[in-house]
Amino acid sequence: MFISDSQLKGLYQRERVTGNKWVVKAKQRGINKPVTVTLGRVDVISVREARRLARDKLALLAEGVNPNTQSKLFRDTDAQLGVTLSDAIDAYLALRELKPSTIKSYRQVLGRSFKDWFSLQLRQISRQDIVNRYVDIQSGIAKRQLQPEKANPRGLADAQKAMRYLSAIMNSYSNDTVNGKRLLPDGNPVLVLKDKRARVRLKARDRFLNEEERRLIFDELTTASHYDYKGKLSADEADFVYFLIVTGLRLEEVKTLRWSNVTATTYTVTDTKNGVDHTLPITESIARLLARNRSDSEWVFPGKGGSYSSMSSVVKRLVASTGINFTAHDLRRTAATIASEHGFSRDQIGLLLNHAVSNVTDGYIQKTTKAILPILEALESSILGR
């Protein structure tokens, strides 16, 4: 039953068992059939507020707009605008052809830095939130880490990496609109770090092993296979580190080397940073290394459960044994330095390290194992002390 309002035509109280409700009932312009629009419960909305709301709905009907259809559109729009950070991360990673290791890095870094934001809508993350979290990430890591600072203050590189990943997610939605509304009304909030000049340029790490350090490490590696060796490395771990030093390969590239990619004269690394397969010639010492590590496993350096060895702590244990503080990437930098000391050009070293080409002309220069062999032989001679 509809009870009309005493002052406003078109406003009614509709009697319901669950409680009376304010409704607007009137014809929409261009349509003869009356439209009923529910405003809310009588015991919640005052008559004065009901009349104000009713006038707005009646004005829409007079313009030929159905308020019910408009409300549904608003609800659908809000739902589509309500993309959460968790949903955005999944969509971003699914859309791009990224290496499994890159996807793993995204999920680990974002989960570690923004887990409590995953249920938030992107549009709810403000510029001030970004500034506060950027500072929190740095200070949190600085408090937890016991190792001495390297090229940059503790936590700075981690904070910048986290924000770089988050910014990539936000950028993928920065131009999206739903029914004329921008998903991110104020754009990518991570850009506040650039606006406030908070994201300082990281200092490049330039650590490499000098001749004396290389000699001490090589001595440790060569004694690891002796029966009376008392150090912290197994023979295959020593071979793994040697492989890194004399090739300049990345840790992941050597870890994931398969026997199926090893021939009589070459081996090919497929899990590369730039996604381009990297084929290297087999030198004398690498040939001996491969021969003594030959097994039925799929991997040159096998681990447990049929996978490759993690080699997660091998460098740390070598550091503990020798007292020389270095990282796996310092070995790659050392290989490049030795090659430079032997007179090889920047372009030649770039071929060894499988760096992405810098211009169109470089793209036409084909890399060959013949061009890389002299560099590898020079590295071996230096490390072996020939």
Beta bridge partners of 278: 269
Asked if pLDDT for residue 33 goes beyond 70, the answer is: yes
Dmax over Cα atoms in the chain, in whole Å? 106
Q: For the segment 109-127, what is each residue's pLDDT rounded down to a tens digit?
A: 999 999 999 999 999 999 9
Asked if pLDDT for residue 189 goes beyond 80, the answer is: yes
Residue 68's pLDDT band (boundaries 50, 70, 90)?
confident
Alpha helices in 147-249 (DSSP H): 156-171, 192-195, 211-223, 235-247
> For residues 21 and 53, what is the distance between their CA atoms, to the nearest angstrom?
13
CB neighbour burial string for 55-87, b if at least 16 within 10 angstroms, e if fewer: eebbebbeeeeebeeeeeeeeeeeeebebebbe
- In degrees, to the nearest 5, what angle opens at C-alpha 271 toward C-alphas 265 and 272? 90
pLDDT for 359 equals: 54
pLDDT for 291 equals: 94
Q: Is the dihedral of CA 100, 105, 106, 112 positive or negative?
A: positive
Domain annotation for the chain: domains and CATH numbers: 2-81 (3.30.160), 85-195 (no CATH), 211-384 (1.10.443.10)
Q: Which of 30-34, 153-157, 218-222, 257-261 has the highest mean pLDDT?
A: 257-261
Neighbours of 335 (CB within 10 A): 27
> For residues 62 and 28, what is the distance between their CA atoms, to the nearest angstrom?
6
Question: Is residue 153 within 8 Å of residue 138, measured between CB atoms?
Answer: yes
How far is CA 303 from each of CA 295, 307, 309, 316, rounded to the nearest angstrom? 12, 5, 4, 18
Q: Which of 44-48, 143-147, 332-336 has the lowest mean pLDDT?
A: 143-147
Q: Which residue has the higher pLDDT, 360 or 292?
A: 292
Residue 364's pLDDT band (boundaries 50, 70, 90)?
very low
Q: Which of 224-228, 267-271, 368-372, 379-383 has the lowest mean pLDDT?
A: 224-228
Across the range 49-74, mean pLDDT stands at 84
How far is CA 230 from each of CA 114, 223, 224, 234, 384, rounded to the nearest angstrom? 44, 9, 8, 10, 22
How far is CA 55 from each of CA 35, 191, 240, 288, 330, rounded to the nearest angstrom? 14, 43, 79, 89, 73
Three-class SS of 299-359: ECCECHHHCECCCCCHHHHHHHHHCCCCCHHHHHHHHHHHHHHCCCCHHHHHHHHCCCCCC
pLDDT for 275 equals: 81
Across the range 183-192, mean pLDDT stands at 91
Q: For the segment 253-305, what is each residue's pLDDT rounded down to a tens digit?
A: 999 999 999 999 999 999 888 788 899 999 999 999 999 999 999 999 999 88
| Ramachandran angles phi, psi of 281, nearest 5° | -75, 150
Q: What percent of the chain has pLDDT over 90?
A: 43
Question: Is residue 131 within 8 Å of residue 193, measured between CB atoms?
Answer: yes
Residue 154's pLDDT band (boundaries 50, 70, 90)?
low
Asked if pLDDT for residue 211 goes beyond 60, the answer is: yes
> For residues 120 and 108, what is the distance between their CA atoms, to the nearest angstrom?
18
Of residues 131, 246, 248, the one with CA closest to residue 189 = 131
Residue 170's pLDDT band (boundaries 50, 70, 90)?
very high
pLDDT for 108 equals: 94
| Ramachandran angles phi, psi of 371, nearest 5° | -75, -25
> For residues 55 and 149, what is the distance between their CA atoms, to the nearest angstrom?
67
DSSP letters, 40-95, are: EETTTS-HHHHHHHHHHHHHHHHTT--HHHHHHHHHHHHHHH--BHHHHHHHHHHH
| Ramachandran angles phi, psi of 311, nearest 5° | 50, 30
Position 45: which residue type? I
Asked if pLDDT for residue 99 goes beyond 60, the answer is: yes
Angle in degrees, 0-180, between the axes of helices 369-384 and 284-292, rounded to the nearest 10: 80
pLDDT for 144 equals: 63
Q: For the segment 327-337, what is each residue's pLDDT rounded down to a tens digit?
A: 898 999 999 99
Residue 367's pLDDT band (boundaries 50, 70, 90)?
low
The residue behind tokens 């995204």 is 106
Asked if pLDDT for residue 248 goes beyond 70, the answer is: yes
Position 203: which residue type? K
Mean pLDDT for the chain? 86
Asked if pLDDT for residue 361 goes beyond 50, the answer is: no
Q: Is the dihedral of CA 316, 158, 330, 309 positive or negative?
A: positive
